[in-house]
């Protein structure tokens, strides 16, 4: 539970499911809650998704942002202005998150950093006694996600992974249909992300570090290299040192629901092909085109991604499909529907998305903290770890060019080449947390 210095009441004015209070109503609701009864939140990494997460938390009137941490003071200043425009007080600002974690008034830490920083900020936040909302993917390597799982279990705090589709009602409804058995025996599943809004990353020369940026701290455990804007805000995800490309950017969201619907978490084997087929001469390192095939013994799952093409399977840029002997259920963020196989079941027309999955996901986290109900977390540490492992398997199969087999008891591949990619090398005096 949150520190006993506060008397959190279950009847605090929080959002009703899927609703958003108007600005004036939110401000009035906040005024009725004393400072001692508010949940204090800190954000590490405020450039992009981390800010979206914090904004969602602040839609709940019993929350307050008390601290922002970022290696870019330009981001800190911009987000402070954003908070003031929202009618919120100015938070304390930090470049060093370890200093921020010394603040005993912080209850929840949101981790919105690049992926290569997730493991350290996560473990240190738990060690400081904070609950954690961590962006997906959980970590940037298999070793890191296993360490993070152990840390979460040791410290017993409420950890929610940012796989917010777990809280989206139409996703839940679709999985209930999958598990009803109406599709018949499901033998083939597919998940995909076709990204037409993203083009190449043109090569640019290295340049001086922008004013206000602590670049050494941004690199952290990654190898030292000169500053290049392609490897900084947002586009860092296309380089193995900091992220794992579309497989972990979109894949963990979508593959997660295949695992959920099928009740499986560990494949028998994985093989993958692909490369830089769309933009062979641009600066990205991760593949812009990739297909991975997973064998779960009694069904297969195919992951597909492309950059520069937007029309995917079933005319959907992204989605999941469960193909059974009676029909196929297709699901994406807009809704789900069922296509019969030879009239063996009734078609289900598009069941549209309702509400904000992110807002509901945040509310679920807050509710579990207030009521000390870790069993009710919609995307707890095990869910985040399992799908991150499967995504990493696909990338490792691609990078080694091998069909890889996972020994779950030993937590190793049967391939020496694949095993070399399990544990990252930490540089610059940083060490991998030990659990």
CB 251 within 8 A of CB 297: no
Residue carrying structure tokens 């950890």? 159
Does residue 134 sit in helix, strand or coil?
strand
List pLDDT tens digits, range 9-36.
Answer: 333 333 333 455 665 666 666 666 767 7
- In this prediction the pTM is 0.94
Question: Does 245 have pLDDT greater than 50?
Answer: yes
Question: Which pLDDT band holds residue 318 (cuts at 50, 70, 90)?
Answer: very high
What is the pLDDT averaged over residues 138-148?
A: 98
CA–CA distance from 380 to each of 23, 49, 262, 366 (Å)? 31, 19, 18, 13
Question: Does 1 have pLDDT greater than 50?
Answer: no
CB 319 within 8 A of CB 194: no
How far is 392 from 406, CA to CA, in rounded Å? 11
What CATH topology corresponds to 168-354+386-419?
Dihydrodipicolinate Reductase; domain 2 (3.30.360)
The residues that bridge with 72 in the sheet, in sequence order, are 213
- How much is the pLDDT for 232? 98
CA–CA distance from 19 to each of 59, 356, 357 (Å)? 9, 8, 11
What is the pLDDT averaged over residues 95-110?
A: 98
Domain limits, the chain: 23-166+358-380, 168-354+386-419
Name the CATH architecture for the domain at 23-166+358-380.
Answer: 3-Layer(aba) Sandwich (3.40)
How far is 139 from 119, CA to CA, in rounded Å? 6
What would the two tokens of residue 156 be?
Answer: 């017993």
List pLDDT tens digits, range 273-312.
Answer: 999 999 999 999 999 999 999 999 999 999 999 999 999 9
Strands laid side by side in the 63-69 sheet: 92-94, 63-69, 39-44, 108-111, 131-134, 159-161
Phi, psi dihedral angles at 334 (to 5 degrees): -90, -20
How far is 386 from 99, CA to CA, in rounded Å? 31
- How much is the pLDDT for 323? 98
How far is 79 from 22, CA to CA, in rounded Å? 21
Provide the mean pLDDT of the chain. 93
Phi-psi region of 198 (alpha: psi -120 to 50; beta: other; left: phi over 0): beta
């Amino acid at each position: 539970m949150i520190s006993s210095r506060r008397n959190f009441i279950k009847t605090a004015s929080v959002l009703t499911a899927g609703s958003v209070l108007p600005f004036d109503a939110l401000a009035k609701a906040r005024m009725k809650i004393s400072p001692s009864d508010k949940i204090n939140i800190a954000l590490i990494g405020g450039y992009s998704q981390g800010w979206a997460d914090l904004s969602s938390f602040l839609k709940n009137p019993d929350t307050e942002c008390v601290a922002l941490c970022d290696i870019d003071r330009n981001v800190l200043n911009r987000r402070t202005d954003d908070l003031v425009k929202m009618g919120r007080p100015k938070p304390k600002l930090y470049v060093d998150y370890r200093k921020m974690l010394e603040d005993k008034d912080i209850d929840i830490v949101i981790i919105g950093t690049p992926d290569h920083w997730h493991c350290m900020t996560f473990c240190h936040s738990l060690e400081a006694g904070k609950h954690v909302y961590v962006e997906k993917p959980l970590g940037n390597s298999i070793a890191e996600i296993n360490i993070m799982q152990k840390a979460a279990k040791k410290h017993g705090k409420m950890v929610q992974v940012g796989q917010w589709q777990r809280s989206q009602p139409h996703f839940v409804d679709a999985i209930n249909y999958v598990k009803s058995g109406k599709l018949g025996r499901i033998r083939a599943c597919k998940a995909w992300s076709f990204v037409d809004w993203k083009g190449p990353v043109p090569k640019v020369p290295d340049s001086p570090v922008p004013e206000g940026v602590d670049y050494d701290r941004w690199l952290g455990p990654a190898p030292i290299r000169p500053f290049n804007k392609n490897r900084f805000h947002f586009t860092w995800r296309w380089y193995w040192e900091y992220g794992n490309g579309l497989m972990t950017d979109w894949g963990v969201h979508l593959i997660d629901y295949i695992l959920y619907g099928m009740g499986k978490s560990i494949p028998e084997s994985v093989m993958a092909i692909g490369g830089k087929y769309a933009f062979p001469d641009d600066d990205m390192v991760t593949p812009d085109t990739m297909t991975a095939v997973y064998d779960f013994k009694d069904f297969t799952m195919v992951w597909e991604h492309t950059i520069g093409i937007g029309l995917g399977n079933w005319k959907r840029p992204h989605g999941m499909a469960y193909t059974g002997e009676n029909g196929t259920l297709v699901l994406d963020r807009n809704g789900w529907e069922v296509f019969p196989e030879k009239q063996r079941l009734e078609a289900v027309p598009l069941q549209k998305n309702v509400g904000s999955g992110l807002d509901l996901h945040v509310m679920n986290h807050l509710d579990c903290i207030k009521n000390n109900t870790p069993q009710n977390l919609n995307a707890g540490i095990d869910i985040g770890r399992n799908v991150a492992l499967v995504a990493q398997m696909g990338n490792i199969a691609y990078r080694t060019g091998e069909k890889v087999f996972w020994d779950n008891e030993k937590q190793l591949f049967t391939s020496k080449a694949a095993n070399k990619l399990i544990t990252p090398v930490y540089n610059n005096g940083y060490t991998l947390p030990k659990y």
